[in-house]
Amino acid sequence: MQEPSVLDFLKSIFKDWNSFSNFIRSLRDERRRDEMKRVLIEEASEPAALPAPVSAAAVGRFPWRSLLALTLALAAQSRFEPPNVSVGLGIGLYGLALAMLVWSVLDSEWNLAPLRPDHASKDPQTVRAGLLILGVVLAVAAFAALGDNKFTVGNLILWLAALAFCAAAFWLPRRGRLNQPVSIRWGWVVLVVVASALVIFFRVYRIQQTPGEPFSDHAEKLLDVYDITQGKTSIFFPRNTGREAIQMYWTVLMAWIFGTGISFLSLKIGTVLFGLMTLPYIYLLGREVGSERVGFLAFVFAGIAYWPNVISRIGLRFPLYPLFAAPTLFYLIRGLRTRNRNDFILSGLFLGLGLHGYSPARIVPLLVVIAFILYVIHSQSKGVRRDALAWLIAVGFIALIVFLPLLRYALDNPDMFSYRAFSRLGTLDAPLPAPWYQIFASNFWNALRMFNLDDGNIWVNSLPHRPALDLVSGALFLIGLALVAARYFQKRHWLDLFLLLSIPILQLPSTLSLAYPEENPALNRAGGALVPVFIIVALALDGLWSAFGSDVKRKVFAWALMGVLLFSSVTQNFDLVFNQFDAEYRLGSWNSSEMGAVIQGFGAKYGETDTVWIVPFPYWVDTRLPGAWAGIPNRDFAIWPADLAGTLQLPGPKLFMVKANTQNAKANDQQTLDTLKQLYPQGSLTLRQSPVPGHDFWIFFVPAQ
């Protein structure tokens, strides 16, 4: 046999990623062995009174490559922060950060938390046939009773009983010992309590003031909530192109518990609680894919972040997307690791509930199917591929039972149920502005840019044209993506690839806005993606923490670094939400609360509000909203200019609110003012000045005859 040549040696090194990384590790290990040998020789020559030999971990070098990679990434992300955006410089700095990151990974400095091992158990493939048959019969009966788009006591009992029996038919008895002793780590408890207090502060601080005013979508929601209080218990609310039911019933509960009535505040309290309820499952998911520390970091950074905070505060259904996506993914991923069928039943339960929440959640079933496909085609599923098919069927079956009321409505009213989605995807409202594949490619790219560069132009739930992530989270997110991708090429574990693919898939409700590409990216329709995004942020930060090892001095440095990063993230996110977003939102929304106060004052003085009106004007206030502030959520206070003369026949004092703009005559409703002066020469005109520039309005008061 011929001796290998230098070319053969080089080919063996650069054959693939594993060969190259193994070669680098061999050089590193040899260098470390030499260093250990030198240290041991030096220690052996010193007096016996000196400390014991240094451990291998203490001999390791300071992770300066990782710190330099982070510093460059932070500098790069700072170039994407408005107003001084420099995309070219930012990309260049990120390129340098990536080079340092590769070096640190090859030198085993910055590594991710190890994936948790799979269980070796197999599914017993058993089912309680009697319970299953009974559950299916009840489901058929519930389906028949769920007509007329109405929940009743009878069909609710049938539906919930069907769900209970079907879930019980597949549920496996709990394995393992019960009542195992639990040790309480008080340091950890204190840390969690402090972090929870910080997160709750961010989510509930100034809830009445930020955001300050509702807009037309809120008027529709309040009318739906009012309908429920009048006995109209709908499954699907067709007003304003159709809405799923969970938020409406939840708001009724909030109004009753907090005594806030049918109001904008009741909507906001409900959705803020939805956002808070998402965070424990983000923690559990982080712990499942990494470690307890990964879960904790994901919990904190998602809890203080501007993106999930804003979409939770708006008072619309937006936070319902991540709320149900997080537990669906947690139970799915844990089920595939532990091979426990019960997790798939729970995953199906939350998957079905999510379909009753916010329409973008209709993409989550696709993500679940993709998860199973990735699992089956990777080696981790060896020996349980037949079981995986049964698990997928279990998830789908339970989700179908939960979805049953909406399924009945969708079959009875297919156009209304699908209108909202297809009006964005197809040509129901307008023709596509370009070939669909060009729009999709552009939308896909713009959606990927939203995290670090541009989150779109929708002012009602974002700060337009800034990154969706803060400076620290944005840098860690891109680093985390690179680390997860590198580990996938090394380990070929399905979960790493799933984490990477889940982000663009969960963004599809935004990306598929082909008819209205200007609505993409949208932080609300891509809200489900925040779950894997903050998991990846936490994975990156946890890996950096681990790079410092267990040496006390390095631990102190690591704690200090974490503190600086967290403080930076806290201060920036506070400014983004409570200063920048609050100010931008107030400029874009109309001051219906001030008009509501005028109505309330008129009613308190004269005992009725039937002779109070608001004259509509293009791009001005929704005339249904001031009534909600005044405690009259079911009245539209609009009176059109052509109908003003009809008010002459009404007795008593009258009050008209009219659009004002003393700086721009075109935005001042002078025609209405002239008409009112002609009809009521005895009337008085007052300018109601608003603290928000450009939001003044006229009050025309007519005393009683």
- pLDDT, tens digit, 9 for 90 and up, residues 601-634: 999 999 999 999 999 999 999 999 999 999 999 9
Per-residue confidence (pLDDT) for residue 423, from 0 to 100: 82
The CB density around residue 316, as the number of other CB atoms within 10 Å, is 24
Residue 641 Cα distances to 35, 616, 652, angstroms: 88, 8, 20
pLDDT exceeds cutoff 50 at 45: no
Residue ending a domain, among 533, 563, 588, is 588
CB atoms within 10 A of CB 407: 18
How far is the CA of 292 from the CAs of 116, 169, 456, 495, 549, in angstroms? 11, 33, 34, 17, 17
In angstroms, rounded to a whole number, what is the distance separating the alpha carbons of residues 511 and 26? 45
For tokens 């935005």, name the residue.
667
Residue 156 has pLDDT above 80, yes or no: yes
| Residue 422 confidence (pLDDT) | 81
Q: Are residues 531 and 625 in the same domain?
A: no
- Express each pLDDT in 257-305 by its tens digit: 999 999 999 999 999 999 999 999 999 999 999 999 999 999 999 999 9
Are residues 566 and 525 located together in one domain of the fold?
A: yes
Judge whether residue 58 has pLDDT over 80.
no
**What mean pLDDT is predicted for residues 536-557?**
92
Would 138 be classed as within a structural domain?
yes
Tell me: do 564 and 429 sit in the same domain. Answer: yes
Q: Are residues 431 and 543 in the same domain?
A: yes
Report pLDDT for 1.
47
Same domain as 616, residue 583 = no
Do 531 and 614 lie in one domain? The reply is no
Residue 621 lies in a domain: yes
* pLDDT mean over 160-189: 84
More reliable by pLDDT, 4 or 492:
492
Across the range 673-690, mean pLDDT stands at 96
Determine the pLDDT at residue 463.
96
Distance CA 610, CA 434 (A): 50
Residue 627 token pair: 């009534």
96 found inside a domain: yes
Q: Decide if 15 is inside a domain.
A: yes
Question: What is the Cα–Cα distance from 46 to 38, expressed in whole angstroms?
Answer: 13
The predicted pLDDT at position 59 comes to 39
Q: Are residues 134 and 70 in the same domain?
A: no
> How does the average pLDDT of the chain come out, rounded?
91
Which residues have C-beta within 8 Å of that of residue 111, sequence separation ≥ 6? 105, 483, 543, 546, 547
* Residue 106 vs residue 32, higher pLDDT: 106
Using CA atoms, how far apart are residues 279 and 295, in angstroms rounded to an integer?
A: 10
Instruction: Put the strands of the sheet holding 697-702 in their side by side order.
Output: 612-614, 654-659, 697-702, 684-688
Confidence grade of residue 34 (pLDDT, cut at 50, 70, 90): low
The radius of gyration of the chain from alpha carbons, rounded to an integer in Å, stands at 30
The answer to whether residue 668 scores a pLDDT higher than 60 is yes
Say whether 655 sits in a helix, a strand or coil: strand
Supply the pLDDT for residue 48. Answer: 41
pLDDT digits (tens, 9 = 90+) for 63-83: 999 999 999 999 999 999 999
Domain assignment of residue 60, yes or no: yes
Domain that holds residue 467: 207-588
Largest Cα–Cα separation, the chain: 117
638 is written with which tokens? 């609009």
Last residue of a domain, one of 57, 74, 106: 106
- Predicted local distance difference test score (pLDDT) of residue 551: 84
Residue 50 clears pLDDT 50, i.e. is over it: no
- Amino acid 51: pLDDT: 40
Contact 325, 529 (CB under 8 A): no
Q: What mean pLDDT do residues 416-426 have? A: 85
Pairing of the two strands 612-614 and 654-659: parallel
Share of the chain above pLDDT 70, in %: 90
**Total domains in the fold of the chain:** 4
Whether residue 186 is predicted with pLDDT greater than 90 in this model: the reply is: no
pLDDT confidence bin for 18, thresholds 50/70/90: low
Residue 115 CB neighbours (<10 A):
16
244 DSSP β-pair partners: 236
Mean pLDDT on 685-704: 95
Together in a domain, 571 and 632: no
* pLDDT band for position 46 (cuts 50, 70, 90): very low
pLDDT of residue 177: 53
Q: How many CB atoms lie within 10 A of CB 536?
A: 29
Residues 337 and 282 in one domain: yes
Q: Is residue 115 a part of any domain in this protein? A: no
Label residue 8 by pLDDT band (50, 70, 90): low
Asked whether residue 30 carries a pLDDT value surpassing 70, the answer given is no
> Could you tell me if residue 573 is inside a domain?
yes
Higher pLDDT among residues 423 and 73, named by residue: 73
Q: Is 498 a domain residue? A: yes
Domain identity same for 464 and 573: yes
Together in a domain, 541 and 625 = no
The answer on 448 and 318 residing in a single domain is yes
Residue 539, H or E segment: helix 530-547
- CA dihedral in degrees (136, 138, 144, 146; nearest 10)? -110
